[in-house]
Structure 1
């Protein structure tokens, strides 16, 4: 199949493209660097002209109140170009539990993106993933002050980017779900415990203080970010992922 991957040069997109090519598909990475702009529509029609499947992994540059307009505009342009090209399947990557966090603009922007796709008149699939293991360091940095990292005990179920990419690629190669697949890592951690594990593995001097008001992940309530029953559970455990990252070194 000819599969166009928007955001195909990023963390997930580059992995999706590689997996699709390994399976014998003609996967084309599309991004600003390849001349495709989902906000202006520049290059989009030509890029999708022969695509049978479109995977949309583009993301808002901010997590604030500007994010809904990014997804509204980009999805409008994508759907218009996909309909004109006769695309038979559109796949979007979203977030497990997004609708359960109405207080966060970005999470509601992702729900908007899903709703626009569902109403777009094309066969579709939504893949919802839990938080990426690759982003844990960034989450810790948001609430770090000197050697102290303040984190809430919000339950998270981290998943490796490789496992997210595998799920997205599998869905892209299959028949449209016209529904949603949830994917998650195999373990649930309170975020403060996850932070402590990460700091210990990295050998840093920092320590975690539990703070129910600290950072973006203080907003979600209960188990809203945990994968629901029936989800696809990925194989990679967080401790194994950290060990493999340490073996690869700072560039891994």
Structure 2
């Protein structure tokens, strides 16, 4: 089976390509570095021509309101190219709780991406994942200074990118879901406690201050970023951090 992996040279995409090829499929990584531009449409028709499955793992360069335009344009171009190329399955990676935080521009943009796919006329699958363990350093740095880090106590259920890649590859190799599959890490943490644990394990002496108004997840109420009914990945955060 031929799979065009758009965004196939990135963190998750490169691992998806590796896993699909190891399973005997022909997974082709497509990105700007290979001459494929999802915004201008350059190289898209050639990238997806003859592909049985298109997997879209591209991401907006910003998390603000501009992300809406990115996902609208890129998905319109990709769906059109997929139809022209005769793709029988289209997979995108999204976020658990994406439909429950309209206050976040980026979440609204990802929901728009999902809606364009669902209405696009190609059998599809949406894989929604919880927050990546790999992004914890970035979350900490958003509200950090030399002495402290401010984080809300928002519950999160982090998942390793390698487990996300395995789930995406599994879905891409199977029949279209025409719906959503949720995946999550095995453990739930308050974000501030996870920050303390992370800094401690790294030997970082900065203090984590619980601040309900700090960072992008400050607007999230309850356990929107977790899903205890999701398919649970095997990697625990403490093992990943090691």
Q: TM-score range by the shorter chain?
A: over 0.9
**1:145 Cα shift?**
1.5
Instruction: Report if the CA contact (8 A) 1:75-1:117 is conserved.
Output: yes
User: Are 1:238 and 2:237 counterparts?
Assistant: yes
What's the CA shift string for 1:167-216, capped at 9, x where partnerless?
Answer: 00000000000000000000000000000010001001111000000000
Report the equivalent of 1:88.
88
Note the alpha carbon deviations across 1:61-108, whole angstroms, 9 max, x for none. 000010001000000000000000100000000000011110010000
1:137 aligns with 2:124: no
Q: Kindly indicate whether the alpha-carbon contact (under 8 Å) linking 1:140 and 1:149 is maintained by their aligned counterparts in 2.
A: yes
RMSD between superposed Cα atoms in Å: 0.6
Name the structure 1 match of 2:147: 147
Q: Counterpart in 2 of 1:2?
A: 2
Query: Quick one: distance in 1 between partners of 2:97 and 2:60?
Result: 18
Describe how 1:155-170 pairs up with structure 2 within 5 A: 155-170=155-170
Change (3 A) 1:228 1:120: farther
- Structure 2 residues not aligned, in runs of 5+: none
Paired residues, what number? 242
Deviation at 1:12, TM superposition (A): 0.2
Residue 66 of structure 2 corresponds to residue 66 of structure 1: yes
Q: Give me the whole-angstrom Cα distance separating, in 1, the residues matched to 2:103 and 2:210.
A: 21
What is the TM-score of this pair, normalised by structure 2? 0.99
Partner of 2:36: 36
1:21 counterpart residue number? 21
Report the CA distance between 1:228 and its aligned residue.
Answer: 5.0
* Cα shift at 1:219: 1.0
Once residues 121 and 41 of structure 2 are traced to their aligned partners in structure 1, the CA distance between those partners, rounded to angstroms, is 19
Contact 1:54/1:91 (<8 A) preserved: yes
Detail structure 1 runs of 4+ shifted over 6 Å in the superposition: none
1:182, 1:228 within 8 Å by CA — same for their partners in 2?
A: no
User: Residues 64-213 of structure 1: matches in 2 within 5 Å?
Assistant: 64-213=64-213
Partners in 2 of 1:16 and 1:224 — Cα distance? 26
2: CA distance, partners of 1:128 / 1:26: 24
